[in-house]
């Protein structure tokens, strides 16, 4: 994640450099000029994601004799959603992207002592209804192409959550709702009938999604769990 963040800073610097280099030129931006007249437009988004948790151990973790390690294992997923885009001047957009996201998170407990090779896995398969709100800054257009960066917040609800089921009474429970901040970057390519925008985005959870259960040792050794995900999206807008 730290490497990805540094890459975003580098890309942001490239966008600013491109904006300075190309200035206000629109020479050759024939498709861009058509779309630039629209105050708003819609589209669809398809994506793939890799999700995991950021785990904070509790003070009881050091004292416990059962677990040597608790870690998160990245799981795959995919997204399908709708794009709503509102122009705010020449370089800024407001975007709302309601999305159905299929994701997998895994908590892995390594047993201590002579059992250190034994593993207990807690798999959390989720179907999220996500409601992201983003602001987008775009560079000056050049030959029907624009670079952009995004930032915003997201609310999500897991409609497949097992946190309230009786079968999950002996498992670590994860809350179905979550808030996250998001940031990323991408490129717009303007074609005659649509805009194609590949985008890479990072989501960082803001609230603790662990449902604490003092009767469960697997829960006692964890203080806080934050969600995070890396998503590569392909937007088709027009």
CA dihedral angle for residue 73, residue 75, residue 9, residue 155, rounded to 10 degrees: -110
- Contacting residues for 129 by C-beta, under 8 A, at least 6 apart: 98, 99, 100, 156, 157, 159
Other C-beta atoms closer than 10 Å to the C-beta of 13 total 10
The pair phi, psi for residue 118, each rounded to 5°, is -85, 145
Note the pLDDT of residue 229.
95
Note the pLDDT of residue 46.
96
* Direct distance between the N- and C-terminal alpha carbons of the chain, in angstroms, rounded to an integer: 32
Residues in the chain: 238
Residue-wise pLDDT for 178-203, tens only, equals: 999 999 999 999 999 999 999 999 99
Question: Which of these, 94, 49, 102, lies nearest to 74 by C-alpha position?
Answer: 49
Note the pLDDT of residue 152.
97
- pTM, entire model: 0.79
Collect the ranges in the chain with pLDDT lower than 50: 2, 4-5, 8, 13-14, 16-26
Note the pLDDT of residue 105.
84
Note the pLDDT of residue 22.
43
Note the pLDDT of residue 5.
47
């Amino acid at each position: 994640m730290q490497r990805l963040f540094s890459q975003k800073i580098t890309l942001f610097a490239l966008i600013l450099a491109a904006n300075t280099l190309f200035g206000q030129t629109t020479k050759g931006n024939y498709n861009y000029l058509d779309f630039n007249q629209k105050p708003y437009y819609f589209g669809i988004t398809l994506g793939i994601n890799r999700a995991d948790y950021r785990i904070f151990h509790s003070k009881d973790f050091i004292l416990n004799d059962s677990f040597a390690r608790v870690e998160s294992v990245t799981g795959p997923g995919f997204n399908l959603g709708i794009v709503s885009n509102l122009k705010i001047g020449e370089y800024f957009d407001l975007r709302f992207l309601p999305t159905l996201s299929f994701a997998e998170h895994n908590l892995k407990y390594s047993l201590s002592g002579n059992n250190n090779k034994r593993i207990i896995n807690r798999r959390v398969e989720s179907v999220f209804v996500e409601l992201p709100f983003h602001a987008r800054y775009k560079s000056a257009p050049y030959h029907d192409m624009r670079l952009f960066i995004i930032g915003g917040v997201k609310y999500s609800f897991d409609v497949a959550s097992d946190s309230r089921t009786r079968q999950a009474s002996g498992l670590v429970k994860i809350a179905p709702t979550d808030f996250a901040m998001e940031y990323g970057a991408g490129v717009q390519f303007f074609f005659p009938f649509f805009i194609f925008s590949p985008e890479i985005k990072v989501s960082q959870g803001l609230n603790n999604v662990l449902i604490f259960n003092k009767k469960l040792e697997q829960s006692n050794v964890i203080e806080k769990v934050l969600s995070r995900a890396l998503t590569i999206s392909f937007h088709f807008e027009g």
